[in-house]
Chain A
Amino acid sequence: MTLEVIDVGGLTTVQDRGRLGYAHLGVPRAGAMDAPAAALANRLVGNPADAAVLEVTLGGLRLRLTSSRWIAVTGAPGPLGIGGRSGAIERAEWLRAGVTMTLGTPTSGVRSYVAVAGGIGVEPVLGSRSADVLAGLGPPPLRAGDTLPLLPELGAPVPLDTPPRRVLDGLGVHAGPRPEWFSPDTLARLCSRTWTVLPASNRVGLRLTGDPLPRLEGELASEGMVLGAIQVPPDGRPVVFLNDHPTTGGYPVVGVVDPADLWQCAQLRPGEKVSFRRPR
């Protein structure tokens, strides 16, 4: 009962809800970057929300199963092929044993999620099957020829209404813990400017460029970092900490992205513009 990886394009990893409760040992949380998309994929095939799925960066994935199962693809919408026919995004599709599933380059967004009924059954590490690219925990990124175990199916998929996702309309931002490192209008400045996503963005952080944010010089004593923390390094170009972020850091945090908007960070492409707004 396995999943066979025929080909991978961009970074493709196994992810679940992440490795929680170990930050004090220096262990990042990891987990699916677009968590709502991963949860939807799981629901579509009848999995619990914390089942492990594949996170596919910019498509390029080909796989097959050794036994027939329901699958679902969510997140960044790319052309989905099921054998010779095209499949639908955000819908349960029946993948027969030995038939090749292909996921092409998405037309928008960055990360797609592939759920297989039962879930990916790699051995959990510290309570999670997630790959962590910073700390190197969990299963390594997928390579052509890999085989992944699948867990037993828990039930048939249920029909689901999947309302269209909210369009990208800026990231809600809460005040950070270190206002004394910034001028009082810094959050307003962050929200009034447009930022451009840098190619160095990855699972660790969304790196932005734009008119730099002024801050005090020097470095903080290392302190705990949260998911969505917007660090401002000395060059004034903000970095939004994402799932594989280090557990501590020494740059002051100007704000924290609203948890409800974090999924957008997973889907922003290098060169795309992004803005911040105060939370609704």
Chain B
Amino acid sequence: MSDWCKPVVMSPRRIEGLVDAHTTNEALTFSKHHRASPSPLCQIDTPVESRRALVWPSIRRCRPLLGHTVLVQVRDYGPKALLVDVGSADEAGALATWARSDATLSEAAGEIVPAATTVLFDDVVAPEALRGELANWSASVEVPDGPLVELATTYDGPDLGFVADTWGVTVAEVVARHTSVEFTAAFCGFAPGFAYLTGLPPEWAVPRMAAPRPSVPVGAVALADHYCGVYPSASPGGWRLLGHTQATLWDLAREEPALLAPGTRVRFVEVGR
């Protein structure tokens, strides 16, 4: 089991809030009924009373009545899938990590796919039941840090000057900024093992190329919008190239083929040309 599947740690504030809000007899009856088949939330090291509140399935429906905001919007996506809107890629990554760590949720969906502002739950046998389970999610849930990967990077990309001009700094400062950020692999897409890395502040966003390059070499380290990415294989691509790494991003011989699976933390370390 990789770090990607570690149990979620809930913040004490979150747990107390739920206990405060819901202390009816009905709720306790329901949670007793469910204790026979323990939710993975019970792995959390919290007092028994708190656990009851966490497995109570009607929390979400009550929230608007209690004057709280509904934190996620769950959309129907055909007969076998749900799409959950969240606020950001980081939140999507957190929700996906939380869902994967929960035995009920990870059983309920064949695919859990975080993206820029959404999480897709696909190949779902019982979407309505899953919708109820998702009610237990809140953006204030804290998920564990993923593993840290350091990528030795040679900054020799053809778009270093463009990025420097866009940011209004020198090329040396571009490298200094890029190596100073701790990125997080928020989601994958485009190609197997291509991770969208978040961590750049929004004001450092850079536009994609108007027309993509017909071929970007494997290992190219690149920016587009406020994402950083590393090409796991040679392909066409419109991202701005900063340099390259020798690391193998995608290797089917590894147990975890994607080096930068969602949740992984990433630092770029400059090495000479």
Contacts and interface: CB of A to CB of B under 8 A. Distances in A.
Contacts of A246: 189-190
Contacts of B75: 177-178
Interface residues of A, number: 36
Given A25-B193, A26-B190, A223-B83, A228 B78 contact: yes
Interface stretch (A102-110, A184-192, A252-260): A252-260
Interface string A212-232: 000000000111111011000
Interface in A1-32: 20-27
B7 to A, nearest CB: 18
A171 to B, nearest CB: 12
| Chain A interface main SS type | loop
Interface string B95-134: 0100000000000001111111111101100000000000
A40 to B, nearest CB: 22
Interface in A234-278: 246-248, 253, 255-259
Contacts of A20: 110-111, 123
Contacts of B122: 23, 224, 226
A135 interface: yes
A135 to B, nearest CB: 5
Contacts of B194: 26
A223 B111 contact: no
B257 A24 contact: no
A64 interface: no
Given A20-B110, A135-B192, A226 B120 contact: yes
B252 interface: yes
A82 B30 CA distance: 64
A246 B117 CA distance: 17
Contacts of A97: none
A176 B83 CA distance: 10
A259 B79 contact: yes
Contacts of B257: 25, 126
A229 B77 CA distance: 9
A257 B81 CA distance: 12
A239 to B, nearest CB: 15
Identify the interface centre among A24, A125, A175, A279: most chain B CB within 10 Å of its CB.
A24
B258 A248 contact: no
Contacts of B14: none
A234 to B, nearest CB: 16
B261 interface: yes
B169 interface: no
A256 B187 contact: no
A223 B79 contact: no
Contacts of B252: 125-126, 137
A23 B123 CA distance: 11
Contacts of B77: 176-177, 226, 229, 253, 256
Given A137-B252, A222-B189, A223-B117, 7 more contacts: A21-B110, A24-B262, A136-B233, A176-B78, A223-B115, A224-B83, A246-B189
10 contacts: A20-B111, A24-B111, A24-B112, A25-B192, A26-B190, A177-B76, A223-B116, A228-B78, A248-B113, A248-B187
